[in-house]
Amino acid sequence: IPVFVLNGPNLNMLGRREPGIYGTSTLAEIGAQAREAGERLGLSVDFRQSNHEGQLVDWIHEAFEAAKGIVINPGAYTHTSIALHDALRAVALPTIELHLSNVFAREAFRHHSYVSPAATGVICGFGPRGYVLALEAIRPLVAS
Ligand code: DQA
């Protein structure tokens, strides 16, 4: 069962980026773990990252044809992007919003998400393990 795992801006810098907050795993390592978890769950994980909002919108549209569900870490676009909100509403697929850090324990500007109202559920604060948790969470929602 195909699932898109989409990553937004600055997540390509994982491993080097504020390791005290985001940990030392690289996005490539997290992607490998996600694909492995997917195999165990019967999900074929298409793992992608872009720094560009429009690219993420295009991938969400692509998911409408190509996937049964979406896991998305929208990075900072979480807090700014009505376009991502609208795209997720448009495709209306089961969607898990995901953050490595506990955004609610951080700056106030991270407490609001435009994505949450368009998501099925939200996972945050569990670091890279959140990707595995998100795939486990989406599994029964995409059962064919
Ligand atoms: C993040 C949290 C966001 O607030 C931040 O802008 C990110 C990463 C996370 O995974 O914890 O880029 O989505």
Please, how many CA atoms are within 13 Å of residue 89, restricted to the half-sphere of its CB? 11
- How remote is the CA of residue 121 from the centroid of ligand 1, in Å? 16
Sheet holding 44-49, edge to edge: 44-49, 2-7, 69-73, 95-99, 121-124
pLDDT of residue 120: 98
At residue 93, the pLDDT reads 98
Give the ligand 1 atom nearest the CA of 106: 4
Give pLDDT, residue 66: 98
- Of 74, 104, 102, the closest CA to residue 87 belongs to 74
Instruction: Supply 2's token pair.
Output: 């195909």
Confidence (pLDDT) at 17 = 85
Q: What is the pLDDT of residue 144?
A: 65
Sequence ranges of the binding site for substrate: 73, 79, 86, 100-101, 110
Among residues 88, 87, 76, the alpha carbon closest in space to that of 113 is found at 76
Give the residue numbers annotated as catalytic, written as ranges. 22, 99
- Expressed in angstroms and rounded, the spacing between residue 100 Cα and the centre of ligand 1 is 7
Q: Please report the pLDDT score of residue 23 as a whole number.
A: 86
Domain ranges, ordered by start, for the chain:
2-141
Q: Measuring CA to CA, how many Å separate 92 from each of 7, 14, 32, 45?
A: 18, 29, 27, 19
Binding site: which residues?
73, 79, 86, 100-101, 110
Average pLDDT by stretches of 10, the chain with 144 residues: 98 91 93 98 98 98 98 98 98 98 98 98 97 98 85
Element (H, E) at 89: helix 82-91
Position in ligand 1 atom list of the atom nearest CA 130: 10
Torsion-angle region of 125 (φ positive above 0: left; ψ -120 to 50: alpha; else: beta): left
- pTM of the entire predicted model: 0.97
Relative to the CA of 101, which ligand 1 atom is closest? 11
Looking at the domain 2-141, which fold is it? Rossmann fold (3.40.50)
